[in-house]
Chains A and B, each alone.
Chain A
Amino acid sequence: MPDLAALRRRRQAIHGWLLLTPTLVMLTTFAFYPTVATVWTSLFSRGTRRRPTEFVGLENYQRLIDDPTFWLVAKNNLIYAGVTIPISIVLALAMALWANSKIPARSFVRTAYFTPTVLPMIAAGNLWLFFYTPGFGVLDQIGALFGAPSVNWLGQPETALWAVCAVTIWKEAGFFMIFYLAALQTIPPDLKEAAQIEGASRWAYTRRIVLPLLMPTTLFILVNAMINSVKLIDHLFILTKGGPSDASKLILYYIWENAFAFFDAPAAAAMTVLVLGVLGALAAFQFFVIDRRTHYR
């Protein structure tokens, strides 16, 4: 009876789709549709009262490429990512290795490292504003003790971006440490003892056993750090607003400015599409290339 078999297959298919529906609805509403809408918007001109919106093809992208601010912002973001990602990961790893060893007041150390993560980014921004403020900020006061001149960390183009980077690293390292700490605790202590008996030094054990076993975690953190280097800009609103003279402006902040300060939605959409493309390519590289060289238990 072929009909019965076909019926059963169809019922199974309907079942499967029903199970997928909730996820599909959520993803469509919050991911797929906005993506498509953004691409669509980026292909139209900015509508004014006199000139209605019209299809302009890639003109918005052309405008972006000709915009020197866009390139400056892209460069800033590259520096921002290049500085914050490796430093926060290395710091997180070092803190996790330390907080995982037998030290006094271990839980206090862990809590202290994790505290910045609990703070909202805006609060962290305000806190650091107090550190950086010239004259009576904490950094300047400490500097004054040693006779250093007052520095306006956020107010000059040479230091503004670095000051912003420092806040991000401070905020992220503790968060990543938690992942490393969790991963370290899944490594059985037997391995350390076996390595000890084989004559491996602490460094050899860390390099040959611990770091490779932490690779899946590192990969996960890397993806997160990369996303954050584009996403985490809340403190810019408090600290610099992208200034002075765009020295600390990052892509997402510029997109926000275009969309909600200059009311140029098509330009913002075009930039968003570019960012999406770059992030997508990076994620693909991580998962297809680095993933294959990683050991998963």
Chain B
Amino acid sequence: MSDPAYVALDGVTRQWGGRGGVADVSLDVAEGSFVSVLGPSGCGKSTLLRLISGLETPEAGSIHINGREVTHLQASGRGLSMVFQSYALFPHLSVRENILFGMRVRRVPRNARDEKLAEAVAMLGLEGLEGRKPAALSGGQRQRVALARAVVSGHPLCLMDEPLSNLDAKLRHSVRRDIKGLQRRLGLTVIYVTHDQTEAMSLSDQVVLMRDGRVEQVGSPRALYADPVSTFAAEFIGDPPMAIIEGAALGVSGALIGLRPEHLALAPSGQGDLTGVVREVEYMGAETHLIVDHPAARGLILSVPGHAAWQPGQEISLTLPKEHRVLFDAQTGKAKKDPQQDYGGDRRQTAPRDSRKALQSHPSTD
């Protein structure tokens, strides 16, 4: 990005007894962009958000917001708002008082308060609920109140910590659209923590994929999907995720080969690149997922349109088109553009990955 970074982290570290948290994270967030911090639980993504918000102080490194050094500044002085997974609404206050709480304690004059309140209430469709207590609201409404509270603060930076995790699947979609709409309309810079790759992919301009307290990959959703830097990224992004096949099975030694499921194709019996066994058949309506077992592969999932007449236990032949294969180093798990390229000087080393069971796309990293 050519814009100057609105939020800039430089070598930020915060750990507890040398464990957990985040280690040496550097990150630039452009103004007005929607950035997701994605990762499995325990990867440090929430810690990262708390460091930016000022609820946590880094042990090393610096944080700048809007060109200002805020590393040791209190949360209230950083000019940001935050939306919590638990909503963090004050249970004894009505919707109106909850939304206006910040303005109250900051002594904003009454008419300015009322104006902002009306605006935020209309924007989030909370009309008629102003007098209610949070206990009398549904989960979606509560999260909307929390969003309204963030909106009236007028801060250009909004941090969200898994705001949709406590909602059911249907509400999740509608609140997700609300969040995106708000961000676009108000030109907010949003840093959004989630463990759900679908949310991250569908909402963001940039995705920051984290693993074990470090940044694994930063890029647009498309870049993460098409060019994963490692098998970890490959298997975390996408639903179903990328299949990983040992190179030896396909005649490429010393490498792992990744392939997105949509590029897998059925081949006539015995003529494909791989022949596996159907383990499970999942009928999804518009398509059917065939989960295929092969000794040299994990995460082999073939998507067949409509209903498929496959049965578990049947042999199945698959074609893996060469042009869609992504090569990873068998030792480091890092992507290599060219099998001959030397990656010995890579500064971010990851441990060699032991072979995991197929489909296990959320390795626990605690």
Contact = CB atoms under 8 A, between A and B. Distances in A.
B84 A190 contact: yes
Given A204-B105, A208-B101, A297-B135, A197 B91 contact: no
Given A199-B76, A201-B105, A297-B135, A194 B88 contact: yes
Nearest to A191: B88
A49 to B, nearest CB: 64
Contacts of A212: 92
Interface in B74-115: 74-76, 80-82, 84, 86, 88, 90-92, 101-102, 104-106
Interface in B48-73: 53-55
Binding site secondary structure of chain A: helix
Contacts of A195: 90, 101, 105
A293 to B, nearest CB: 11
A208 B54 CA distance: 22
Contacts of A200: 76, 101-102, 105
A197 B80 CA distance: 7
A191 B54 CA distance: 15
Given A197-B75, A199-B105, A201-B105, A209 B86 contact: no
A255 interface: no
A213 interface: yes
Contacts of B76: 196-200
B142 to A, nearest CB: 13
A147 interface: no
A198 B92 contact: no
A15 interface: no
A295 B84 contact: no
B213 to A, nearest CB: 21
Contacts of A297: 91, 135
A215 B92 CA distance: 10
Interface in B130-154: 133, 135, 149, 153
Interface string A207-218: 011001101000
Contacts of A208: 90, 101, 104-105
Interface in A240-297: 295, 297
A193 B84 contact: yes
B74 A198 contact: no
Nearest to B101: A198
A208 B80 CA distance: 21
A188 B86 contact: yes
A201 B105 CA distance: 8
B85 to A, nearest CB: 8
B108 to A, nearest CB: 10
Contact of A198 (B54, B55, B102): B102
A102 to B, nearest CB: 14
A193 B301 CA distance: 43
Interface string B312-345: 0000000000000000000000000000000000
A213 B92 CA distance: 7
A194 B82 contact: yes
Interface string A175-193: 0000000000000101101
Contacts of A191: 88, 90
A193 B101 contact: no
Contacts of A193: 55, 75, 82, 84, 88
A17 to B, nearest CB: 35
A196 B91 CA distance: 16
A64 B54 CA distance: 66
A213 B91 CA distance: 8
B86 A196 contact: no
Interface string A200-230: 1100100011001101000000000000000
Interface in B151-197: 153
Contact of B88 (A188, A213, A215): A188
A230 B86 CA distance: 44
Contact of B106 (A199, A209, A213, A295): A199
Nearest to B82: A197
B76 to A, nearest CB: 4
A126 B96 CA distance: 55
Contacts of A201: 105
Contacts of A295: 91-92, 133
Contacts of B149: 194, 198
A211 to B, nearest CB: 10
Contacts of B86: 188, 190
B134 to A, nearest CB: 10
Contacts of B81: 197-198
Interface in B231-255: none
Contacts of A196: 54-55, 74-76
Given A197-B55, A199-B106, A200-B76, 15 more contacts: A188-B86, A190-B84, A193-B82, A195-B90, A196-B54, A196-B55, A196-B74, A196-B76, A197-B54, A198-B106, A198-B153, A200-B101, A200-B105, A209-B92, A297-B91
12 contacts: A188-B86, A190-B84, A190-B88, A191-B88, A193-B75, A196-B74, A197-B55, A197-B75, A208-B105, A209-B92, A295-B133, A297-B135
